[in-house]
Structures are given as structure tokens and as C-alpha cells.
Structure 1
Amino acid sequence: MRVSIIQASLVWADKLKNLEYFDREIAQLGGQTDLIVLPEMFATGFVMDASKVAEPMNGVIMQWMANHASKLDCVITGSVAIKEKGKFYNRLIWMRPDGSFEYTDKRHLFRMGNEQEYFTAGEKPLVVTLKGWKVRPLICYDLRFPVWSKNRLIDGQYEYDLLIYVANWPASRSYVWKSLLTARAIENQAYCIGVNRIGKDGKGIPHSGNSMVLDFKGRFQVNAPANKSYTETALLDYTELTSFRQRFAVGLDWDSFTIH
């Protein structure tokens, strides 16, 4: 499966400028990818005043995602500030070429940024399928919580093959970002992708990007340069993944658990 990541500097609360940037980057990927991964809140930046940036599920950003997914015949994913039934959600959208979509809401809201005061936490994990792959997409701070990210072996089948995190992860904690992404790939015996923004946000907080695609051993497939806009496509090999799982069957010894 071909997966493209887009590491970008987001303009604070400016949907038009951000979408115009992604228009240009996405246009280059036509016929070359199966999945495009954008950062967390890619159209606005990590703006906490949700009432100023949030859209309904039939808003401009959702339509934009549907249009590009259709044109490029691929899935596009990233998170969006959504308003629904009087509440706000940091919602990851999984947009398919036919306009159908699925979503998951950020489970762990970043309290050091007071996200929990503006947004409502998600409760349901999501696993989607694409070209025979099972994919688990998550959002930023969720990376710090290994139980919420944990893969499981159920009746001999792995719950997912690819783990994705979209993020606005500050440069001051880039070492943590890189370390935890590597750990999640290794401990879950899955490919792992982290797509982060660059540049200073509206509060003056710098972000270095350090987006990456890791294989099931924690080895780099793509290692984006820090502090630079960057678009790259990686080819993920399902045969190599399944072969490794058979040879090194850690999943058979995983602990069973229930999340409450």
C-alpha cells in the first residue's frame, strides 16, 4: 500500500490559506498513492476556541476532503474541529473516494493546553480497512497512552496492521514524539505513521515536524526533516509484515485487557 504524508506549516485559524497549501501538495500525488495523511486540525492549527473554527459534518472542510479523495481516487485522513449537537470534537475523518467516510474523536484531550475545556473526548476506537490492510488512526496526545493504542490478537487475527497518529506536537517534546512512535511500532508489531506540523502556532509555540513512517521493527521508511515542509510517499509491504509476525510471534503472549 502506498501512503503519503504531508508535513506542513499551518496558518493559525486560516482555513483558506491552509487548504490552498494542501491543494498544491495533494495535486502532485494523483495516481501515486492510496492514502494521504494530514496533520491534526490541518485546516486551522490547534485552535482551542472551537466556536471560531469548528464546522458541521457537512461543512467546507469535509467537502474539500471528499473532492480531493474523489479526484485522486485515494483515502484522505486528518483531524478537523467539528461542531455536532452543541458539542465540539477534535475529529479524525477517514474520507474515501466515493464520498463515504468514518471518523473517530480524540480520546485523550491535551489538558496542558486546556483542550478538555473546549472539546468533548471520544469513546470509541476505530479500525478501518484499505486494500486489505486494517488501520487504526489516532490523534496526537493519544500517542502517550499505550493501552488505547494497543494492538490485540483475536482468534489468530491482529486487530490492525497500521497505526497512524496525526499531530500538532511541539518541538520542545520532539524526543518524546520520536521515541513513542518507535515504541508503538515495535510493541504492536505494526507499521506506524506520525504526521506532525511545523512552524509556530498562534501562541508562539514552535513545532519541528519530525514526521515519520516506521516499519514493524521501528525502522524508518520515511524520516521527514525537521522544520521543513515535506511530502513523501512510502510503500508498505504486507507480506513482510505477516512474515515477521509468523517468525516472531510476540502477539501470542500479549496480555488480554478491557478498556473502560
Structure 2
Amino acid sequence: MNLALVQTDLIWQDKAANRQNIGKMIDENTTNVKQADILILPEMFTTGFTMAASKLAESMDGDTIHWMRSLADQYQIAVCGSMIAYEDGKFFNRFVWFSPESKEVLSYDKKHLFSLADENHHFHAGTDHLEIEYKNWRIMPFICYDLRFPVWMRNTQEVDLMICVANFPTKRKKAWSTLLPARAIENVCYVAGVNIIGRDGNEIEYPGCSGVFDYTGELLLDAKSDKAINFVSIDKPPLDVFRRAYPFLKDRDHFNLLPNH
């Protein structure tokens, strides 16, 4: 599986400019992008991490959805990332996924809203995981703050790859670089984390440090602080061999999550 991780700065609350910026990055890497299987964009990649939901939200038939679908069609790759979505009178920090062979959009709404920034006062929390079947891989997405909650991210579905898109700040860089491999090790799966760089409209700095870790916690890709599309290949057979040799997930605890009140 060939992954393309888009690490960039974001133009604050300017959806068209961000799509144009990312589109330019893709155009400059056309050959490599065409060889990828999944193009992963950051959290709120059209706006930055803003609470201006009512001003910036889009429907599931809006410009960003059509733009992502066109990328999937043009490059014949899966395209995913999170955006501010409006549906049924509610706002969501929503991860959306397009596969080239399907016109259906899959989505996951961020479960753990970042109360420190009042995200829980502007958005509705998701309640369900999303399991994606793609090219014989089982993939599950998460968004930023979800990374701090291992129970929510517990691999109970034999997931092969977890994707975490984020706006994770420089002040908490250590947490980002520690929790990504921790989730890979405890869940015996690959983990890809996509973060941003630069400074947002609230003067918060972001370090980049997008990365991919294998099921032992080994770092396979370190994007450092560069603005770039980063490419890495991950393989399923070694994961299957490791799981047979070390069937740790068979001994995991079984539990049921209660609904939030």
C-alpha cells in the first residue's frame, strides 16, 4: 500500500485558497501521486482548526466534496481528510473518504472534541467508528484529539492501518510523536499521522512531524517540518506474519463503550 501524506501550512479560513495550494502541491508531484493508493490530507484542511463552523461549514454536496471526488477520479487513488461539515442542522469535524472505484463518500465524525478550544461548543461529536475496506486492507480513521484516547482507538476489528489527521501544535509535539507509535504497538497495526506546519489565525504554531509507524512502533516515515507530499510504502504480509507469531490482540480485554451524555 503506497501512502501519500500531504503536510502543509493552511491559509486561515480560506477554503478556495487551501484547495488551490494543495492542488498545486499535487500537480508538482503528479508522477508519484499517481503511484500512490491513498492521498491523506490533514484535519480541517480547507480552513485550519477554527471554531467558525457556521461561517465555513459545507454540505456533503459542496465544493470540497466535489474537489476531493475529482482528485480520486483523476489520479485513481483514495483521497481523505477532515473538513467542517453541515448536516441535519448540526456541524461536524468530519473525516471524508473517497475511493476511485466508488462514487460513495464514507465519513467519520470526530468523537473526542477538543474542549480546551471549545470545539465541543461548536461541533457535535461523532458516535461511531468507520471501518474502510480498501485493496484488502482494513483501515480506520481518527481525528487529532482522538489520539489521546486509547480505548476509543482500541483495535477490536482487526484493523491493519489507522489514519490520524490532525492540527497538533508545537507545544504538544512530544505527545504527538509518542502517542502515534504507542497506538501502533498496542494495536499491532500500522499508524499514519498527518499534521500541518506554520502558524494559524490564533497564532498557534504547528511542527509538522507527520509520520508513519509500523506494528512494532518503528518509524517508517518522518516528514519533519517540511512543506511536502511525503510518500511511503507499507506491506501487509509482514504484518500478517507478525500477528501470527505474536497474537497479542487475542488476549485483549473485551468491553462496551457507553454513550456520552
Partner Cα distance (2:214, 2:107) in 1: 24
The structural deviation recorded for 1:255 is: 0.8
The Cα shift of 1:106 comes to 0.2
Quote the residue 2:36 is aligned against. Answer: 33
Match of 1:133 among 121, 130, 137: 137
Tell me what 1:68 maps to. 71
Q: CA deviation at 1:235?
A: 0.8
| Among candidates 236, 239, 242, match of residue 241 of structure 1 | 239
Aligned to 1:5: 5
* Contact 2:85 2:92 survives alignment (8 Å): yes
In structure 1, the residue matched to 2:58 is 55
Computed over aligned residues only, the root mean square deviation of the Cα atoms, in angstroms, reads: 0.9
Aligned to 1:188: 187
Determine what percentage of the aligned residue pairs are the same residue.
41
CA distance in 2, matches of 1:205, 1:224: 20
Deviation at 1:127, TM superposition (A): 0.6
TM-score scaled by structure 2?
Answer: 0.95
**Amino acid corresponding to residue 191 of structure 1 in structure 2:** Y
Deviation string for 1:62-99 (max 9, x for gaps)?
Answer: 00000000000011010010111211000000112233
- Contiguous gaps of at least 5 residues in structure 1: 153-157
1:231 aligns with one of 224, 229, 232: 229
Q: Does 1:123 align with 2:117?
A: no
> What amino acid maps onto 1:169 in structure 2?
F
Q: How does 1:156-235 map to 2 (within 5 A)?
A: 158-226=157-225, 228-235=226-233
2:155 is the alignment partner of 1:151: yes
Given that 1:189 and 1:216 are in contact with CA atoms closer than 8 Å, whether structure 2 keeps it comes out as: yes
Q: Could you tell me how far apart the structure 2 residues matched to 1:71 and 1:179 are?
A: 36
Name the residue aligned to 2:96: 93
Instruction: State the distance in 2 between where 1:30 and 1:214 align.
Output: 20
1:148 alignment partner, SS class? coil
Which contiguous aligned blocks of 4+ residues in structure 1 show a shift greater than 3 angstroms?
none
Deviation at 1:210, TM superposition (A): 0.6
**Alignment coverage as a number of residue pairs:** 254
Give 1:220 shift: 1.1
Please say which of residues 21-30 and 190-199 is displaced more in the overlay. 21-30
2:114 corresponds, among 110, 116, 134, to 110
- Report if aligned partners of 1:167, 1:197 keep a CA contact under 8 Å in 2: yes
Q: TM-score, normalised by structure 1?
A: 0.96
Is the Cα contact below 8 Å between 1:70 and 1:99 reproduced in 2? no
**Distance in 1, Cα, partners of 2:182 & 2:256:** 21
CA distance in 1, matches of 2:3, 2:105: 18
1:230 Cα deviation (Å)?
Answer: 2.1
Aligned-pair CA distance for 1:199: 0.6
C-alpha distance in structure 2 between counterparts of 1:34 and 1:126, whole Å: 19
Q: CA deviation at 1:251?
A: 1.1
Aligned mates of 1:49, 1:246 — CA distance in 2: 47
Report the AA paired with residue 14 of structure 1: D
Contact 2:91 2:122 in 1 (8 A): yes
1:30, distance to aligned residue in structure 2 (A): 3.9
